[in-house]
Amino acid sequence: MKFYCLICTRSYEASPVLNDLISYLSRGEVETKLLVNQESIFEAYDKGVKTINPEDDDIIIMCHDDIEILTEPEAFKEILENSLDDDTGFVGVAGTEDFGFPCVWWDHAKWKKDKHSGWIEHEEPGKGRYATEYGAHRQVVVLDGVFLAARGKVLKELELEKPAIFEGNWDFYDIYYTTEAHLLEYKNKTVEIKMCHKSIGNTDGRDSWHANRLAYYMKYKKQLPLLLT
């Protein structure tokens, strides 16, 4: 069994945060592949997985290039190996067990009803570092794409390329991938990996995010809401 990490980034000149992430992964003997200046995150991950050509039990991480993993490397790998059993699709650090319209996984109304799961630290200029606790770690239906991991077997069963109905090249890949795994009756989960995201998602003015959100809804509306059974 091997560990791989696929990271999309915009430049061959890595930022200090990315260099630190690569160093961390190297200490844990995780083989890292940078997907530089890609036209689409869907195609980047599809190409990355095909290039690796993983064995069924290999573990492939797909994550942002601006994270700091706070869990020690040995414990990090142990958590992934133990959580990715035969019936598991994806694991991540944040997600929800109740996903439907308006197709925003962090929907605040559902947050108040304790439907969300996970923990992540953020770092923002002027605010410093602060932790966001979504809820207890457990099985969910969809996960946030800041960090995802799955076995080679699962990724080879999924269609990783961008669906033709999606307009944007960088949005909703995480919801799409984890939805497809859920519909194949795999279990998606949040796990107790600690990390800091050195930015925060912002959908304001992101026409491609809103377009892909609507396209996702039109594709899956007969199956929504996605709920644990």
Contact call for residues 149 and 1 (beta carbons, < 8 A)? no
pLDDT tens digit string along 103-129?
999 999 999 999 999 999 999 888 889
Q: What is the CATH number of the domain that holds 30?
A: 3.90.550.10
Lowest mean pLDDT among 2-11, 73-82, 196-205: 196-205
Q: Is the pTM of this model over 0.85?
A: yes
Residue that has been written with the tokens 């953020």 in this structure: 122
Number of domains in the chain: 1
What lies within 8 Å, CB to CB, of 109 at 6+ separation is: none
* Residue 197, domain extent: 3-227
CA distance 128 to 14: 22
pLDDT tens digit string along 11-51?
888 899 999 999 999 999 999 999 999 999 999 999 999 99
What is the arithmetic mean of pLDDT over 188-209? 84
Residue type, 91: V
pLDDT tens digit string along 53-72?
999 999 999 999 999 999 99
Q: What is the CB neighbour count within 10 angstroms for residue 39?
A: 10
Report the chain's mean pLDDT, rounded to a whole number. 95
